[in-house]
Amino acid sequence: MTWVPLRQDWIRRAACTDEDPELFFPVGTTGPAEREQEEAKRICERCPVMRQCLTYALRSGQTSGVWGGKGERELAELRGSASARRRAGVSTR
């Protein structure tokens, strides 16, 4: 896990500020939870800080919920590919 500053100014511009948090942290991975996750991702698509949110999620090691338009499985895949690049000595910046 990488150090990340506690103060995250970008959050004030988040498109999900007034949305139901349960959309972004659905319980389960099928049925209603899958629909909630897809709805959350659609909100992310119109979010002006999607890139910052995804970067924050990856750097702070978030493992649950939708962040930056990515679900839990996609976040894990991105973390895995970033780790592989680091192990191979390829810059991730």
Query: What does the DSSP assignment read for 21-82?
Result: HHHHS-SSSSTHHHHHHHHHHHHHHT-TTHHHHHHHHHHTT--SS-BTTB-HHHHHHHHHHH
Q: Which stretch binds ligand SF4 (CB under 6 A): 28-36, 39-47, 71-79, 82-90?
A: 39-47
Instruction: Count residues near ligand SF4 (CB under 6 A).
Output: 14
Instruction: Give the number of other Cβ atoms within 10 Å of residue 48's Cβ.
Output: 11
Q: Which stretch binds ligand SF4 (CB under 6 A): 1-9, 11-19, 26-34, 76-84?
A: 11-19
Contact with ligand SF4 (CB under 6 A) among 60, 69, 72, 82: 69
What single-letter DSSP state applies at residue 89? T
Q: Per the annotation, where are the binding residues? A: 16, 44, 47, 53
Interaction site with ligand SF4 (CB under 6 A) = 14-16, 24, 43-44, 47, 49-50, 53, 66-69
